[in-house]
Structure 1
Amino acid sequence: MAYMIRAICNVISQVWLRHRFKKSSTVSRFVARDVRRDVLVLDDAYIGNGYVVARVRTRNILYIARGITTEENFGTPEILHLKSIWDWDGMPWGGASLPRQVIPYIESEQLSDRLQQHFPSAQITVEIMNSEYQSWCMKVAIDGKNLEYVWGPLSGFGVIDLKNRSVENLFAYCDVYLGSMDEAVNFACDCAA
């Protein structure tokens, strides 16, 4: 009986989430007394896995009204976990918005193309690690340097420098977490220099 009730609650929850976070909708909520977060949903296909692809803007309404800050645009596409979408690390009364941990939405083909533009002789191979979550691993060989980029919607985006891997990080997901594709390209450029 308890299993059946739990199953019915899960179905109702999924229907409600799909209705609230449907593609192309903007969902807003105050995360602190003066701070409002707006979420523009770009892709709702993974809502059953607990996340959406969206663009976010977090702004202090009082600061904007008083001219302390200006209106912000939405950020770049990122993975938003539904459990933590409204989390606020700042003061309960609001204040300035703090930087959030962001998992950028990056497709392996986009990164591969950008790296190939910068390094035409680079050897790049991509392997899908989990087809349900579309996580991937990309091995890049640039002039004797071997890098491994990893991306997953649950674990994040990062890079491993296979030649300079330290013993402390041997079993870590990555050596350096990255917040954007530009950071990934800059890391490759720094390693190749």
Structure 2
Amino acid sequence: MEELIAKRYIKALLSDSDLEFVKNVTLLFGILSESFENEKFLTIMASSEISVQDKTSMLLDAVKPANSNKIDNLIKLLVENKRINIIPAIACELKKDLANLTKTYNGVISSDTDINPSVIEDLSKGLGKKFNSAISLSFIKNDFNGIKVEVNDLGIEINFSKDRINSQIIEHIIKAI
């Protein structure tokens, strides 16, 4: 639900904006959303003892380096509507929008065995060519019995399970007999 609300605010914020503004806003909200991982900050923002003006002032000070009336107005609107808590969702959606604008995506390769970095680079290039994008893949070793490639922002998931391949080979041999 927060994502839907965040998208509405982002749509208004980014209307008639260039790519540089989108990059700056994404960076700014990414940093601002990290504040929401701090318990003291969350306590201050949730406190009814702290006035709306003080909360607004705090957040405006945080975004002051951007020197943007659009961002200032968005912060004021979020505080006024008691929607400060959607700032992390706004940051997340901005990252997705920036990735779509620049066609640059990050993904993950999961496997229970180590994968050569050159193979990871080849997979990145191959997927990038297939989807006309720049895709950067990172490797995570886990207990998946095979190889799984995920690029969530593009909706891609490719996996090759050793168990599934073995069962298909057995089925094929049985059919051949």
- Say yes or no: TM over 0.5: no
Larger helix proportion of the pair: 2
Higher relative contact order (CA 8 A, sep 6+): 2
Q: Choose 1 or 2 for highest CA Rg.
A: 2
- Give the structure-2-normalised TM-score: 0.30
- Give the structure-1-normalised TM-score: 0.29
Larger strand proportion of the pair: 1
